[in-house]
Amino acid sequence: MPDEPVSDPMFYSSEFRHGIDDKRRVSIPAKWRPAQADTEFMLILWPSGAAADANILVLPPAQAKALVKKISEMPAADPHAQSLRRLIGGKSAAAKLDKSGRMMLPEDMAKKAGLEKDTEAVLIGLVDRFEIWNPKRFEIVSQADSALLADAFKLV
């Protein structure tokens, strides 16, 4: 049985600003695009601070699979686990890139994350995944991140 080829994991770095077109599509940076055209990403409305639906977290297949595995291993009787299952199950969607490297954001998800048609989005690399933010919301979270930075570097 031949070994399956192992592709290098994608590394999501930097900050990009791209417009959201009238069909709610946002261009994904070329260096973040998977080599395989049919790659499906998991989109999750993600909280930040007091904002329940602050941004859209984008997980590539390996991270999505790891999240699903972790959630499925949680005890079914644990109310926290059930709450998390409902949150992630109800606030997630799948998306693929089109031939031009754009991702269509689901209407309800985009609206809740403050990502309107014909506006700008901020895409932030998180090493193994990335986030899509409304620029004003991103500015607020960036200020909070700056306050945590000294302690955050202690984790490395």
Distance of CA 92 to the CA centre of its chain: 10
Q: State which fold the 15-155 domain adopts.
A: Chemotaxis protein chec (3.40.1550)
Mean pLDDT of the chain: 92
d(CA 112, CA 62) in angstroms, rounded, equals 26
pLDDT value at residue 10:
85
Among 48, 56, 37, 35, smallest CA distance to 129 is for 56
Q: How many CA atoms lie within 13 A of 58 on its CB side?
A: 29
Residues 48-77 pLDDT 10s: 887 888 999 999 999 999 999 999 999 999
> pLDDT higher for 2 or 132?
132
Between 37 and 46, where is the model more confident?
A: 46
User: What is the rounded distance in angstroms from the CA atom of residue 66 to the CA atom of residue 46?
Assistant: 17
Name which residue leads in pLDDT, 1 or 127: 127
CB of 134 within 8 A of CB of 51?
no
Residues 148 and 81: their CA atoms lie apart, in Å, by 28
Distance, in Å, from the CA atom of 111 to the CA atom of 34, rounded to the nearest integer, reads 26
Q: What angle (nearest 5°) sits at the alpha carbon of residue 20, between those of residues 54 and 110?
A: 35
